[in-house]
Structure 1
Amino acid sequence: MHRINSKHGGYVAFGGNPKGGKITGRGTIKTGNLDFENVYFVRELKFNLFSVSQMCDKMNSVLFNDTECIVLSPNFKLTDESHVLLKVPKKNNMYSIDLKNIVPKEGLTYLFAKATSDESKL
């Protein structure tokens, strides 16, 4: 079930364009276990997107693997820290890696693009 109201206005930046898409509606999408509030309807976007940062602000954990993204409940506890290969702190609503402090562990493969602070916020 979803509900989009008629509040119009504003833009969502994407593709390097600060006015990439006009917001033509806002609303709430309700699923069985998780509600998405203040969802923007942007006709120009071809895919449904959600903010990992906003999920984490609600005290959920988000896990990505090669086939899916899993949103875990706020009471999820990691039982074995030895499975953690990398931790990246959240700062200014973004997870930013300082390459000077990275010491790769066995099994950790990564690809980094060099970008300025402003570019990485895009």
Structure 2
Amino acid sequence: MYWLINYILDIAGTETQTHLLLRADNLQMAELAACRMGRTWWKDVMSGEDEGCYWTFLAATVWFSGITLLDEREVDVLTGLKFLDMWRVSGDLNSLSIRDGSGYPWEDAYR
């Protein structure tokens, strides 16, 4: 299953939206991965968390703002445009792995 994940970032007072594609077996795995991605947006500098969907970092905040299950046609269009990053979720609820198409882990990715 493919999911469109939405985040709102506020960096030094400038708010932007960021979207990515996530491939996960079910909604529970997709939501868990999206929250873990938000929590680790900038490695080792998180200063606060609120209800698992809002994270504070030095001079920035990240909000997990939405998740949408995509149908086959929507996936084809969005992957064909090649402007959204695609991440794959594997493992189980206790041990998630989030990697890009080249196998690079989310936690080490440049954002």
TM-score range, shorter chain: under 0.3
Higher relative contact order (CA 8 A, sep 6+): 2
Larger Rg: 1
Q: Which has the higher strand share?
A: 2
Q: Which has the higher helix share?
A: 2
